[in-house]
Amino acid sequence: MNVIEQVMLGWQCLRYASRQLLSPALWAPWLMVGGVEALALAALWWFAHPWVSWLMAPLLTSAAGEGVLRYPNLFRVLPGLFARVDLVVQASLGALAAGVATALFAVRSADRTASPGAAWRQAGRSVLRLVLVNLPLTLIAVGLSYGLDLALQARGSSSSSRHLAHGMSLGLIFVVQAWFLYANALVMLGGYGWLGALAALPRLAARGMAGALFMAVLTLVPLLLVQGLTATVASLVDRGVPETVGWLVAVQLVVTLVSSFLLTGGAAVYYQSALTEEST
C-alpha cells in the first residue's frame, strides 16, 4: 500500500474503534488500569487522610521534599508525581490491558464469537512477552522526555533551544509510538515471542508505518494538549484554585484511557486487515 492508502486504512480502523467506545467488554481491560490509577491519584491528592497518610506522607517527602506536605505545594508537583505512577502502571498493567484489548478487538472485527475470558487468559499467559515487547517503547519515551530535560538543564540551554528540542522530541515520540504500534498484535495475534515481535517490526513498517503514524498523531494529540494545560495551571497554583490541577490530572487520566482504547483497537484491526501476511 502507498502512503495515502495506509492513511485511509488507519482512518477507517480508528473509526471502527470509535464505534466500539460504548462496549463494556472492550472497556474492561482499560477500566482495570483506570481504577488503579484513580486510586493512586486519590492517594496523592488526599495524602493527609488518616487511612493513607502513614504511607503517602513519607513517600511524598522522599519524592519531593518536606515542603510538599504544606498546602498548596502538592498541586505544583502533582502532575509530575502522577506521571511517575502512570509510567509504572502503563508498563505493567497497561501491557496486559493492551494484550487483552488486542485479542478482543480482533475477535470483534472478524465478527467471531468468543468469551472475554479467553482473551484474558491468553493475555495472562503472554503477559511477560507483552511487558518486554513494550519495554523499549517505554524506555525510549522516558529518555526523550525526562532525559532531554535533564540534558538541557545541565547545559544551561536557552528557552528557544529548549522549545526547539522539545518539538523535535515530540515528533520522535510519535514516530517511535508508530514503530512499536503493532507489537502487541504480533504477540497476541501472530503468536510471536517478544524478540521475534521486535525483529518483525521493520518488515511491517513498509505496509503500516504511515497508517500507524497517522493513528498515533490523531489519538495522542488531545492527550498532549491536556498535559500541556495541566502543566501550565500547575505553574500558576498561587493565582487560582490549586485543586484545579487535581481535576485536570483526572481529566488527563480519562483522556489517556480513551486514547489507549482507540489506538490499541485501531492497531489490532489494521494488523488483521493488512499486515498478517506481511508479518509471517
pLDDT (mean) for 21-41:
94
Say if 132 falls within a structural domain: yes
Say if 145 falls within a structural domain: no
Say if 148 falls within a structural domain: no
DSSP result, 46-72: TTTSHHHHHHHHHHHHHHH-GGGGSTT
| Structural domain span for residue 230 | 3-139+182-279
Say if 155 falls within a structural domain: no
- Taken as a whole, the chain contains a residue count of 280
* Number of domains within the chain: 1
Say if 175 falls within a structural domain: no
Tell me the C-alpha distance between 51 and 49, whole Å.
5
Say if 127 falls within a structural domain: yes
Say if 120 falls within a structural domain: yes
Say if 173 falls within a structural domain: no
Give pLDDT tens digits for 218-234: 999 998 889 888 888 87
Give pLDDT tens digits for 80-132: 899 999 999 999 999 999 999 999 999 988 877 667 889 999 999 999 999 99
